[in-house]
Amino acid sequence: MTSVLFLVASLVGAWFTFNAFNPMIVQRRRSVISFFAGWLTAELALHHVAWQVAAAIVFIALGALHAWPGKLALLISLVSWAGLILLFRRASQAERVCTEALRNGLGVDYEERILPELRPLLSHGINWREIALPFAMRDPRVERIRDVVYADGGRRGASRGLKLDLYRAREGAPGEVAGTRRPRPILLQVHGGAWILGSKNEQGIPLMQRMASHGWLCAAIDYRLSPHATFPDHVVDVKRAIRWLKEHAAEHGADPDFIVVTGGSAGGHLSSLAALTPNAPEFQPGFEDVDTRVQGCVAFYGVYDFTNRDGVYRHDGLQRVLTQHVMKRRLEDARPLYEQASPLYRVNAEAPPFFLVHGDFDSLVPVAEARGMYAALRAVSRAPVAYAEIPGAQHAFEIFPSLRSALAIDGVERFLFLVYSEHLRRRAAASAAHEGSEPDRRAS
């Protein structure tokens, strides 16, 4: 009996490993199951090895190898462990991919163009303690200010309001970045969850803690969720958060003129849509005169085309969610509205710098979605556009610390610091030009 149980356990473990290499993307329900199993296996590969080895030791101690099922189970387990180690080694490729993406999108000298006083902040090396304990996600250098109300919650949530959390460095005077009196750059995090789930408490934490420890002010927001909310409520709330950050930046030593928006999945959709529609009146009801421009966007595994124009989705999962919960109208009956909601249709020459990040094993949002968005941006945008297709990465791969997510966040960190450096250079040049014109006016 013990040998049979060992065989069953080894087959379960082997299926997790196999699924991480071969995610199911054709059928809607299977793709969801494949996501959860593959996500946790690929990002926690060595943890899987540890528990499977521990289980094998127990089974062997109980005499599982005395019968042929136990011997077969051990062979299957050895193959599975080899696959898990290969998964872990594949995660290290994220460093090369991100470096190539930044060189292609920003220029081969991108790192040298980061301001000298900011360059020492760039991370080097891996924090193995974070990877060993991935769900702790605490950084003693960073404080979190919870549940700041940034807007009313509409008819269904006006009493409690919409809230955000602020992350900022504990040490140093407010407004200090790299030992200067320069205001803090701002990173706005928008969570995912198919526009119907999730909150500010679960996503984007490793990236926000990283940037907050380097002197950034990071804000994670809640927004109205479907089915109570109907598009464009979700992106309107992102715009309201941008307005709040601009109005209250000085209170937190931050720069209201430099905001980068980021998010994953539905958050990738909302962040990119907000970045591509500055001051769009249809998304700013009641505050049409507020400047909601942002200076950059980092979108992780985002949804960019509600119309599925290029047929990248091989099942009806997205359309079911949109029709029943988000848009509440069928694509055939409201195509202009679906296009209005799609970042792919809002791409324009004035887009801010973009960094798109997507896993090539994503079973929820096909990687072709990101490839199409990248091609569209590169074709028309005057600003830099980078795209990193992370090998072996499932959906949501960067939610908690892992080798792959740490290396991807290294790349995002460099993108953010370069965009910020270029912003500061433009500001300094404008200031110098203004000062140079003052003597001319006085002389006249």
Catalytic (active-site) positions? 265, 362, 395
On the 0-12 / 13-18 / 19+ scale of CB atoms within 10 A, 393 is buried
The Cα–Cα gap between 188 and 279 comes to 17
* Residue 187 φ/ψ, nearest 5 degrees: -120, 125
The Cα–Cα gap between 189 and 131 comes to 22
H or E element at residue 251: none
Which residue in 31, 42, 26, 5 sits closest to 399, CA to CA? Answer: 42
Q: Which amino acid is at 384?
A: P
Residues 6+ apart with CB under 8 A from 383: 351, 352, 353, 354
As a dihedral over the C-alpha atoms of residue 275, residue 276, residue 278, residue 279, rounded to 10 degrees, the angle is -130
Q: What's the angle, vertex CA 266, arms to CA 162 and CA 213, rounded to 5?
A: 70
- Cβ atoms of residues 264 and 200 within 8 Å: no
436 C-beta neighbours (distance < 10 Å), count: 9
Pull the structure tokens for residue 366.
């096909």
As a dihedral over the C-alpha atoms of residue 406, residue 410, residue 413, residue 417, rounded to 10 degrees, the angle is 160
Give the long-range contacts of residues 321-324, CB within 8 A, separation 24 or more: 321/194, 321/195, 321/196, 324/227
Handedness of CA 318, 190, 403, 73 (dihedral sign): negative
Q: Which amino acid is at 200?
A: K
Residues 6+ apart with CB under 8 A from 5: 59, 64
H or E element at residue 438: helix 403-443
